[in-house]
Structure 1
Amino acid sequence: MNTVNLEKLKFPIGKFQKPDSITDKDLKIWIEVIQLFPIKIKNLTAKLSVEELNWVYRPEGWSIKQVVHHCADSHMNSFIRFKLALTEDTPTIKPYEEAEWAELADGNSDDISPSIQIIEGVHTRWVLLLKSFGENELKKKFIHPANNKTSCLDEIIGLYAWHCNHHLAHIEQALLHKGQFKK
């Protein structure tokens, strides 16, 4: 275990790096990542046994099933935050305790199908919304009270494209290590 880089296990694709300037090409790529995420996570998890769903991606990390449930929770929250930013003047969004949510009964369920359904539905609507954006919508903002940071929706599109790939990499990592890590 000493040879395993825990930071690399935690961030297998690295941390999100916001470009200095967000281009139309960046946005197109990011929206495509968000659009393809449901089928990718569904394909990656479709044939997993309960034992495999309980494999973790790093020591003391979440299980595959918790990652799937977390993505449903996180992406629902993000979709709502986008809608708040589009309909209110720089709203302060509501944070949530994602680590605590992951430990609730629904975040620990061996049945990931409801969360896959949520991801499919939310992403269908989210992508429809994102593809309708013009420059005004991309520059809408919200405030996250945990760090009092104001974020533009164009940046958050990139952050959630990264989030999709980040958690797909976690699932792939858990499968690669075949249950060697313990929660």
Structure 2
Amino acid sequence: MNDKVRYPIGNFEPIRKFTDKSRKHIIDQVPGIAKSLRESVQYIDDEQLHIPYRKGGWTISQIIHHLADNDMNAYIRFKRALTEEEPLAGSYREDAWASLHDYADLPLEDSIMLLEILHKRFYTLLCGLDPDQFRRKLQTEVLGTISLDTALQRFVWHGQHHIAQITSFQASQGSQLE
């Protein structure tokens, strides 16, 4: 499998030494994720929404609903890390969730609106935290024990990663954004 297709912006690599300025830069990207997602699907037709972005991959529709599920989970994990000592961030079977009927039955607009509202809340939470709070930790299956600085970077990377999959798919289909 071509990693450039699966990971069009590359694998996640956290910045270990974070300054307040670089943290603010990452935080300021949160509200734009849903906007970029909305723009990325603006010219995709209904048929294309149900085509996998790569062989063996999810459809564009599944990616969008997955982003809503993932970001809800990430928000809860973040809040738990702010209120508990190094909580274990629960994981979920993304592939199984993507096969549930709500991914096929719900309009994409529902998940995009959910993301807009959720990101507004998350942004408000993030802007009110002091630098020490970003050093709090949580335990994950994929990354091990991480700080909230790393969780924040991963959150933004994850949104950009899936948006890049969608725009790469569009380019391969000849339906570029205008």
* Fold shared by both chains (TM-score > 0.5): yes
Note the C-alpha offset of 1:75. Answer: 0.3
Structure 1 alignment gaps of length 5 or more: none
- The aligned residue for residue 177 of structure 1 is 172
Note the C-alpha offset of 1:48. Answer: 2.8
Q: Secondary structure at the match of 1:80?
A: helix
Note the C-alpha offset of 1:56. Answer: 2.1
Partner residue of 1:156 out of 151, 156, 162: 151
Give the distance between the partners of 2:58 and 2:105, measured in 1 at CA.
13
Answer yes or no: is the 8 Å Cα contact 2:14–2:153 preserved in 1. Answer: yes
Distance 1:106 1:11, change over 3 A: same
Give the distance between the partners of 1:102 and 1:67, measured in 2 at CA.
8
Give the distance between the partners of 2:158 and 2:82, measured in 1 at CA.
21
- The aligned residue for residue 11 of structure 1 is 7
Distance 1:148 1:46, change over 3 A: closer
Give the distance between the partners of 1:17 and 1:93, measured in 2 at CA.
19
Q: Secondary structure at the match of 2:105?
A: coil
Q: Secondary structure at the match of 1:29?
A: helix
Q: Secondary structure at the match of 1:94?
A: coil
Give the distance between the partners of 2:42 and 2:4, measured in 1 at CA.
26
Partner residue of 2:87 out of 81, 91, 96: 91
Partner residue of 1:107 out of 88, 103, 106: 103
Distance 1:64 1:143, change over 3 A: same
Report the identity percentage: 33
Distance 1:19 1:159, change over 3 A: same
Indicate the larger mover: 85-94 or 24-33.
24-33
- The aligned residue for residue 28 of structure 1 is 24
Give the distance between the partners of 2:84 and 2:15, measured in 1 at CA.
26
- The aligned residue for residue 119 of structure 1 is 115
The total of aligned residue pairs comes to: 174
Aligned amino acid, residue 84 of structure 2: E
Aligned amino acid, residue 50 of structure 1: D
- Can you list the C-alpha shifts for 1:50-105, whole angstroms capped at 9, x where unaligned? 11211322111111111100100000000000111111111112110111111111
Question: Normalising by structure 2, what TM-score?
Answer: 0.91
Note the C-alpha offset of 1:46. Answer: 3.4
Note the C-alpha offset of 1:142. Answer: 1.1
Aligned amino acid, residue 37 of structure 1: I
